[in-house]
């Protein structure tokens, strides 16, 4: 959530930033916040003034009673009662203005960093780096991963439909083991990079969803357990970042680095066509997430380290990739800057997103009340929060399968063989 200080002191910059992010009604929303804040502050000032006057009058009542001036004392008591009645009305005005202002603020996205390019959609994203070392031969005849998965009996989509519905595949034999291998590899690499592993809950309360910005923005995309008012997590970012909600962290403890494996659940309403074939877009999938809590001064150094970490994973998996700096119109609700990593699909002949790395600056921290105490002057300030997929499994699996297919099966990247215990994904039983 944007801070009132930022909106009040840099109003035009905020409006321009929101417009860069293609947020409709940016000026109107900002003006509403400022108006509600004005009402809230004026009510608070009147309330404070009334309280001060009541204290002064209370002192007079005691003195008058001692002097035997009962009638004068009663007149002042009546005045105090009137002020108290006014206090109640002022408090109600202030509370309503504060609630209305908060509701508007919750619906306003983060503003983009100056380095974010202009643009309305993905067509304006900028490729800042690519590595085509392991690019597949375009002349090779290859099958799409969903055909390969069926051919070698690795994933059964129909069984998933039978048990649950579309988007919930069943992984079989070597593929189930391959999933675990990828998860272990990603977690081991994160641990080597200094991340503390967390095993979080898969369901969160409303406060957690509000804290990281999934609510109210993505409420329709989250599975909701109505009876308990709990949400299935769309990413481990939500529970892990909420570990630090309502916390004050000492500066010498920062940056905090956490990683977590979890299943992720997304309704993905409205998705259709080639984008949802096979493993391209699922309602349940596995992902390893990296999260950082940092100071504003150091957060972009952390951000660079996170980008390097994800890139190194793709290099070790022997996958062609490129890195995109997202334009304002293609960024998430909460991010200040975001880079996507995409790998090339040999059979689908297109790039598939496998990771997003974001710096939210103080936006999430303000919603979370996640703060740190400066070492020099003990001042309490908002942290910066960051997160990234490191990595999401479905599309990584899809590109590994398509780019490493042979007539006998799918070659397992060398770095994963020790984790799998086999070097070929096929329908043969594991020894």
User: What CATH number does residue 78 fall under?
Assistant: 1.10.287
Residues 230 and 343 in one domain: yes
CATH number, domain with residue 414: 3.30.930.10
DSSP structure class, residue 91: H
pLDDT for position 61:
65
By DSSP bridging, strand 284-294 and strand 203-204 are unpaired
Q: What are phi and psi of 73, to 5 degrees?
A: -65, -40
Residue 111: inside a domain: no
Last residue of a domain, one of 106, 130, 149: 106
pLDDT for position 268:
73
Q: Do the Cβ atoms of 173 and 425 come closer than 8 Å?
A: no
Residues 101 and 143 in one domain: no
Residue 66: inside a domain: yes
pLDDT for position 274:
57
Residue 142: inside a domain: yes
Residue 115: inside a domain: no
Query: In 107-156, where does DSSP find H-type helix?
Result: 145-151
Residues 80 and 174 in one domain: no
Q: What are phi and psi of 302, to 5 degrees?
A: -60, -40
Q: What are phi and psi of 120, to 5 degrees?
A: -90, -30
Last residue of a domain, one of 106, 141, 171: 106
Residues 281 and 366 in one domain: yes
Residues 282 and 390 in one domain: yes
Residue 181: inside a domain: yes
Q: Do the Cβ atoms of 391 and 181 come closer than 8 Å?
A: no
Residues 68 and 139 in one domain: no
Number of structural domains in the chain: 2
DSSP structure class, residue 210: H
> Which among 330, 286, 325 is positioned nearest to 307, based on CA atoms?
325
Last residue of a domain, one of 53, 79, 106: 106
Q: Which residue numbers in the chain have pLDDT < 70?
A: 54, 59-68, 70-71, 73-77, 80, 269-275, 431
Structure tokens belonging to residue 272: 């259709």
Residues 81 and 133 in one domain: no
Q: Which helix or strand (DSSP H or E) is residue 406 part of? A: strand 405-406
d(Cα 304, Cα 307) in Å, to the nearest integer? 5
Residue 147 has a CB neighbour count (10 Å cut-off) of: 15
pLDDT for position 162:
97
Residues 59 and 96 in one domain: yes
Q: Do the Cβ atoms of 252 and 294 come closer than 8 Å?
A: no
Residues 126 and 101 in one domain: no
Q: Do the Cβ atoms of 371 and 385 come closer than 8 Å?
A: no
pLDDT for position 84:
75
Question: Position of tokens 């519905």?
Answer: 165
Residue 248 has a CB neighbour count (10 Å cut-off) of: 13
pLDDT for position 187:
98
What is the domain extent for residue 72?
A: 4-106
d(Cα 62, Cα 65) in Å, to the nearest integer? 5
pLDDT for position 89:
85
Percentages of the chain per state (helix, strand, coil), in multiples of 5: 45, 20, 30
d(Cα 292, Cα 259) in Å, to the nearest integer? 9
> Which among 235, 253, 246 is positioned nearest to 196, based on CA atoms?
253
d(Cα 325, Cα 408) in Å, to the nearest integer? 38
Q: What are phi and psi of 352, to 5 degrees?
A: -120, 130
Query: What is the per-residue pLDDT across 45-99, written as a single tens digit (0 to 9) for each?
Result: 988 887 777 677 776 666 666 666 766 766 666 776 777 777 788 889 999 999 9
pLDDT for position 261:
97
Residue 217: inside a domain: yes
Query: In 67-138, where does DSSP find H-type helix?
Result: 70-106
Residues 186 and 236 in one domain: yes
Structure tokens belonging to residue 178: 């391959």
- Give CA separation, 129 vs 235, 308, 324, 330, 340, in Å: 26, 12, 7, 18, 11
Residues 143 and 242 in one domain: yes
Residues 288 and 415 in one domain: yes
Residue 113: inside a domain: no
Residue 114: inside a domain: no
By DSSP bridging, strand 350-361 and strand 384-392 are antiparallel
Nearest-5° Cα angle at 398, 411 to 334: 135
């Amino acid at each position: 959530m944007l801070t009132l200080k930022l909106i009040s002191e840099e109003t035009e910059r905020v409006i321009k930033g929101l417009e860069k992010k293609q947020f409709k009604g940016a000026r109107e929303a900002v003006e509403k916040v400022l108006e509600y804040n004005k009402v809230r502050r004026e009510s608070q000032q009147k309330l404070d003034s009334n309280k001060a006057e009541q204290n002064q009058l209370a002192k007079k009542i005691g003195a008058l009673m001692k002097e035997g001036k009962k009638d004068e004392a009663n007149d002042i008591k009546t005045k105090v009662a009137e002020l108290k009645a006014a206090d109640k009305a002022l408090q109600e005005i202030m509370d309503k203005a504060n609630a209305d202002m908060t509701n508007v603020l919750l619906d306003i996205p983060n503003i983009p960093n100056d380095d974010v390019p202009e643009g309305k959609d993905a067509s304006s994203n900028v490729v800042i780096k690519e590595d085509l070392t392991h690019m597949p031969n375009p002349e090779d005849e290859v099958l799409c991963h969903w055909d390969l998965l069926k051919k070698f009996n690795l994933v059964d989509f129909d069984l998933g439909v039978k048990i649950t519905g579309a988007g919930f595949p069943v992984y079989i034999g070597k593929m189930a083991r391959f999933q675990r291998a990828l998860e272990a590899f990603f977690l081991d690499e994160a641990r080597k990079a200094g991340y503390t592993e967390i095993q979080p809950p898969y369901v969160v309360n409303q406060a957690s969803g509000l804290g990281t910005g999934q609510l109210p923005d993505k409420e329709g995309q989250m599975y909701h357990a109505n009876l308990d008012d709990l949400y299935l997590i769309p990413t481990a970012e939500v529970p892990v970042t909420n570990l630090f909600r309502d916390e004050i962290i000492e500066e010498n403890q920062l940056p905090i680095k956490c990683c977590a494996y979890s299943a992720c659940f997304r309704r993905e309403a409205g998705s259709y066509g080639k984008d949802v074939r096979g493993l391209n877009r699922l309602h349940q999938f596995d992902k390893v997430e990296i999260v950082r809590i940092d100071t504003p001064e150091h957060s972009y150094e952390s951000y660079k380290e996170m980008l390097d970490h994800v890139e190194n994973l793709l290099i070790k998996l022997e996958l062609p990739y490129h890195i995109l700096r997202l334009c304002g119109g293609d960024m998430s609700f909460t991010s200040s800057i975001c880079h996507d990593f995409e790998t090339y699909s040999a059979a689908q002949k297109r790039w598939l997103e496998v990771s997003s790395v974001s710096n939210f600056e103080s936006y999430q921290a303000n919603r979370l009340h996640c703060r740190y105490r400066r070492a020099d002057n003990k001042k309490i300030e908002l942290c910066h929060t960051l997160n990234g997929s490191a990595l999401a499994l479905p599309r990584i699996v899809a590109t590994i399968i398509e780019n490493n297919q042979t007539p006998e099966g799918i070659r397992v990247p060398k770095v994963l063989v020790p984790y799998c215990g086999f070097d070929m994904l096929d329908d043969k039983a594991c020894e």
